[in-house]
Each structure stands twice: as structure tokens, then as C-alpha cells.
Amino acid sequence: MGIPDVYTWVAWVVAATALILGAQVFGITGLITLIALAIVALLSISWTATQRGRRRLQRRDPRFRPTDELFHDPVTGDRTRVYVNPETGERRYWTER
């Protein structure tokens, strides 16, 4: 891990300044409320992005065709089927439920 760039330092200075000014403007109760709201917002954004990513990964690309290759994943124990793109030869592995 290297030294943070200038923009990272600027962001930390801005965050520290906002924290100090926020405590003076809103009081400590208001500041704690704002921090809690920010944490809830960030968690909900993260959860939404994770759900979208999972749905995207579960959709199968129509260019890929299933093969007869079916095996149990040794790590997860799930049944996995091999799909292949006939045009490029690219292979993908999807869990079958």
C-alpha cells in the first residue's frame, strides 16, 4: 500500500472540517443523527448494488449453449454445468439449482 494521493488527503481534510463544523452547527445529537443516516444510506446503496450484481450474474447470456458436461463443484458442492459460446469457444460455468 503506497502513500495516498493528493485527492485522498483533500477528502480527509474536507471530511474532518465538515465533522467539526457539523458538530458546531447541529450539536452533537444532530451530528450523530446525520452520521447514522449516512451509514444507513451507504448500507442500502451497497445492498442494492450487491443484489443487482447477483441478478446480473444469474442471467445467462443467450450466446452460450449448454454442454453435456455436468459436475459437482468440489468447493461448494453445487451441481455445475458448462456452457460454451460456439462462435468464440469461450466457456462459462453456471450452478444448476
Q: Which domain holds residue 5?
A: 1-59
Are residues 17 and 54 both part of a single domain?
Answer: yes
Are residues 37 and 80 both part of a single domain?
Answer: no
Q: Where are the beta strands (DSSP E) in the chain?
A: 65-72, 79-84, 91-96
Are residues 51 and 69 both part of a single domain?
Answer: no
Residue-wise pLDDT tens digits, 52-82: 777 766 677 888 899 999 999 888 888 989 9
CA-closest candidate to residue 82, choices 95, 69, 71: 69
**Number of domains within the chain:** 2
Are residues 50 and 72 both part of a single domain?
Answer: no
pLDDT of residue 86: 93
Global pTM reads 0.41
| % of the chain residues with pLDDT over 90 | 19
Are residues 48 and 77 both part of a single domain?
Answer: no
Amino acid at 89: G
Write out the three cell numbers for 5.
Answer: 494521493
Give mean pLDDT, residues 21-34. Answer: 74
pLDDT of residue 3: 60
